[in-house]
Structure 1
Amino acid sequence: MPQLVNGVRLGQAFAIMRLALLPALLILALTGIARAEAVLFPAPSGRAAGELLVYSSLDDDLARPLIRAFQDRRPDLAVRYENLLTGALHDRIVAETQAGRGTADFAFSSAMDLQVKLANDGFARPVVTPDTPDWPDWANWRDTAYALTFEPAVFAYHKPSFRDHPPPSTRAELLRWLAEHPAEARGRIGTYDPARSGVGYLFLARDQELYPRIWDIVREMGRTGVRQYPTTAEILTRIADGRLAVGYNLLGSYAADWARQHPEEVGVILPRDFTVVVSRVALVPRAARAPERGAEFLAFLMSPDGQALLSRTLRLSAVSLEVAGQAQPAGGMAGLEGVRLKPVPVSPGLLAYLDQATRARLLARWNAALSAK
């Protein structure tokens, strides 16, 4: 006769207990990793009236000027900053919310799709800031998820390799260069590996949507021995020393920074046919411990001062129309005027990129095109 506990078989009772403990165990697993990365910024006044908890994928060194500037306005506020991988950031907010515990007051991530998923699944709360009415429609989804930065995909090139002729500035010109200069292009074009780079996958998906001849380019890149890398730095290092002649669809802020550091070797082009733009997305979680502080930090980053600071510190162009219209010599991507910008909208359409079947089909087509004879 099976043993019963309150009318439930003992085996079932243990299973229920394990399920009940799962969220707590997940939180412990996530926080055990994340808290090793936590940085505390004490209240400058020395008399903390509270604490703002931030989960972000932005490196500590880049986040520090943003936090210091915010604390200049709120000297009585301490800030606990936890630097997380984008997947861990998403999973931790979900786990802490479902367990009934408080979570971060503010979340900022470069994974547009995962941030939108949090908002779409009900893990973000609506926040209206003084700048919300003027925010671009593509950069605001239901006042729950806001794009705060402007990150164009660019062509980078090795300047000495193009002394005798101009580098390609459109996808059609790139296709022509690959076909007409096989010796120069052989093994010397680099791009992201979309299987290992999330942003590389997103750029490929957008190219497929916006440019009918993208697969002609991929096939030609395959014929010339394209090199694939998971990070921007690996590509730009090889462009700077001449091992690569062209880098396709690279994150603009990193490429621009390399061009500033290596002005004789690295050039950057915003594609003239169209330029895909991705963003870092911010939200205030529904289960925030102090949502009013998260909303205050969001309002600061959306303000002209916050947008200018983001542009200057991160070297990312501002989303704010007021700031984007100003010259940004100290940071951001210069020369955006007149470029056909194609921002990735902050919308549930991003969720399609998380579908595993869709991802598998796109990667299979990429690999087949690269290996075509």
Structure 2
Amino acid sequence: MRLAVLLTTLILMLPAMARAELTLFPAPGQRQAGVLTIYSSLDQELARPLVLAFQQAHPDIAVRYEDMLTGALHDRIVAETEAGTGTADFAFSSAMDLQVKLANDGYARPVVTPDTADWPDWANWRDTAYALTYEPAVFAYHKPSFRDHPPPATRADLMRWMAEHPDQAQGRIGTYDVSRSGVGYLFLARDQELYPGIWQVVTAMGRAGVQQFPTSGALLERIADGRLALGYNLLGSYAADWARSHPSIGLILPRDFTVVVSRVGLVPAGARAPELGAGFLAMLMSPEGQALLSRTLRLSAVSLEVAGRPSPAGGMEDLAGLRLKPVLVSPGLLAYLDQATRARLLARWNDALAGK
């Protein structure tokens, strides 16, 4: 019976495992005392400074870093925990709803770090799920495509641009595939709550032949080379990173309202080395870790101490004056995961794109 359960679990895990990208960071010290396993939706190149900072303080620890889609991350932790095989020691994901679901369903363990007492209430749910960044959804655009007129700064501007420049817009707008991207689905759910006209925007994008992609990288690659003129609701951290190395990419934080999400970190209940996962979480919550997130990676920090300082790389102070609409870390996020609600939202999305 046990063997049958394990085989079934492994079969169910195969799609998730196929999408994971594994990077190994050997222990930099003379000996290896342990291995920290991280499942994350953060690209490994962006995560590298975080891992190296942890290893600098723990030179005897090797790190096994697996980059995967947010849905696969959730499913793999559940499957491995249920199978009793052990799972990641730390999980870091931009799909806030799925992370809170893991905590709510008992797949995360409470962890108190030296900074827990001072962490904002909105960013901590029962010491099991911590918001660690403060990231806006942006419009990313191909600068040469907007030489003769400014890029859209609001959703109304976006509709106007599609109507007035159909030759430039047709087939050259991109966004997340909300059926495959957890953060893309979360952005859509928040748009629906905050903006009554969102379905007119989606319908117009459908008429313009919008293209959908599961990852930020796939979108930004096409914006950088001009195959896409504009990307709607992209995660700002990735867009900012690409803009640093691709001068053709510009960013707009929507002026009508800007949805803000957080990457949520947790230590799984089934972690093989939970003490290492707790140590990595403590590092990310420390002033040094938050400074690294905010400055090196351009992921705005949650820590008010870090975010309040001037930052050339971009912290929360860069969001001043915008109509920010943050998503709180709370069980309210679970409403986005109700299967009937999800099915209705995806159906409406597909109908709007099809012009129904």
- Asked whether the two chains share a fold, i.e. TM above 0.5, the reply is yes
Structure of larger gyration radius: 1
Instruction: Give the corresponding residue for 1:287.
Output: 270
Question: What is the CA deviation profile of residues 204-242 of structure 1, one whole-angstrom value per residue up to 9, with x for unaligned ones?
Answer: 111001111111212222333333333333433443344
Alpha-carbon shift at residue 183 of structure 1 (Å): 4.4
**1:229–1:333 Cα change, 3 Å:** farther
Aligned to 1:39: 24
Name 2:330's counterpart in structure 1: 347
Partner of 1:143: 127
**Structure 2: distance between partners of 1:112 and 1:23:** 29
Q: After superposition, give the CA deviation of every residue in 1:167-211 in whole Å (9 maximum; x if it has no partner).
A: 221122223333344444344333223234332222111100111
> Where does residue 6 of structure 2 map in the other structure?
24
Residue 303 of structure 1: how far off its partner (Å): 0.7
* CA 1:300–1:351: 2 relative to 1, 3 Å: same
Q: Distance in 1 between matches of 2:162 and 2:83?
A: 54
Give the whole-Å Cα distance in 2 for the aligned partners of 1:341 and 1:144: 25
Quick one: structure 1 residues 230 and 47, their matched pair in 2 at CA, closer, same or farther if it must change by over 3 Å?
A: closer
Find the residue that maps to 2:134 and give its secondary structure. strand
**165 and 310 in structure 1: CA distance in 2 versus 1, 3 angstrom threshold:** same
Matched, 1:371 2:354: yes
CA contact (8 A) 1:23 1:95 kept: no
Q: TM-score by structure 1 length?
A: 0.82
Change (3 A) 1:83 1:204: closer
Distance of aligned partners of 1:212 and 1:284 in 2 relative to their CA distance in 1, 3 Å threshold: same
* Mapped contact 1:171–1:271 kept (Cα < 8 A): yes
Change (3 A) 1:235 1:67: closer
Cα distance per residue 1:264-320 (max 9 Å; x no partner): x32211011211122221111223344333222211111111112223443322222
| Distance in 2 separating the partners of 1:181 and 1:57 | 35
In the other structure, the counterpart of 1:126 is 110
Q: 1:304: which partner in 2?
A: 287
Q: 2:305 aligns to what?
A: 322
Aligned to 1:361, which of 321, 341, 344?
A: 344
Give RMSD over aligned pairs: 3.0
Task: Read off the aligned partner of 1:326 and give its amino acid letter.
Answer: R
Contact kept, 8 Å, 2:135 with 2:261, in 1: the verdict is: yes
**3-state DSSP class of the match of 1:37?**
strand
Counterpart residue number, 2:249: 266
Rounded to whole Å, the distance in 2 between the matches of 1:215 and 1:341 is 21
**Residue aligning to 1:9:** none
Unpaired stretches in structure 2, ≥5 consecutive residues = none
Deviation at 1:83, TM superposition (A): 4.2
Q: Is the 8 A contact 1:56 1:109 kept in 2?
A: yes
Q: 1:251 aligns with which of 218, 224, 235?
A: 235
TM-superposed deviation, 1:332: 6.1
Alignment of structure 1 residues 327-338 onto 2, 5 Å: 327-330=310-313, 335-338=318-321
Structure 1 distance, partners of 2:31, 2:171, is 60
Q: Per the alignment, do residues 179 and 319 of structure 1 end up closer, same or farther by CA in structure 2, a change over 3 Å counting?
A: same
Same amino acid, percent of matched pairs: 76
Q: Is the 8 A contact 2:131 2:264 kept in 1?
A: yes
Counterpart-to-counterpart distance in 2, 1:200 and 1:103: 26
Structure 1 alignment gaps of length 5 or more: 1-16
The residue aligned with 2:173 is 189
**Structure 2: how far apart are the matches of 1:330 and 1:211?**
30
Q: How much has 1:246 moved relative to structure 2? A: 2.5
TM-score between both structures, scaled by the size of structure 2: 0.86
Are 1:253 and 1:332, in contact at CA under 8 Å, matched by a contact in 2? no
Q: Which residue of 2 aligns with 1:66?
A: 50
Residues 89, 241 of structure 1: CA spacing in aligned structure 2 closer, same or farther, 3 A cutoff?
closer
Is residue 294–residue 307 contact of structure 2 (8 Å, CA) maintained in 1?
no
Q: Which residue of 1 aligns with 2:99?
A: 115
Bigger mean CA deviation after superposition, 237-246 or 119-128? 237-246
Output the amino acid matched with 1:156.
A
| Counterpart residue number, 2:217 | 233
Residue pair 1:314, 1:332 contacting (<8 A) in 2 also: no
Partner AA of 2:7 in structure 1: L
Asked if structure 1 preserves the Cα contact closer than 8 Å seen for 2:22 and 2:64, the reply is no
Structure 2 contact 70–182 (Cα < 8 Å) conserved: no
Residue of 182, 195, 200 corresponding to 1:211: 195
Name the residue aligned to 1:12. Answer: none
Q: Distance in 1 between matches of 2:6 and 2:100?
A: 24
CA change 1:184–1:37 in 2 (3 A) is: closer
Contact residue 308 and residue 318 of structure 1 kept, 8 A? yes
Query: How far apart are the structure 1 equivalents of 2:216 and 2:23?
Result: 26
Residue in 2 aligned with 1:159? 143
Q: Deviations over 1:4-25 (max 9, x none)?
A: xxxxxxxxxxxxx3xx334432
Cα 1:286–1:234 change in 2 (3 A) is closer
Deviation, structure 1 residue 142: 1.2
Instruction: Classify 1:162/1:100 alpha carbon distance in 2 versus 1 (closer, same or farther; 3 Å).
Output: closer
1:181 and 1:94, CA in 2 relative to 1: closer, same or farther beyond 3 A?
Answer: closer
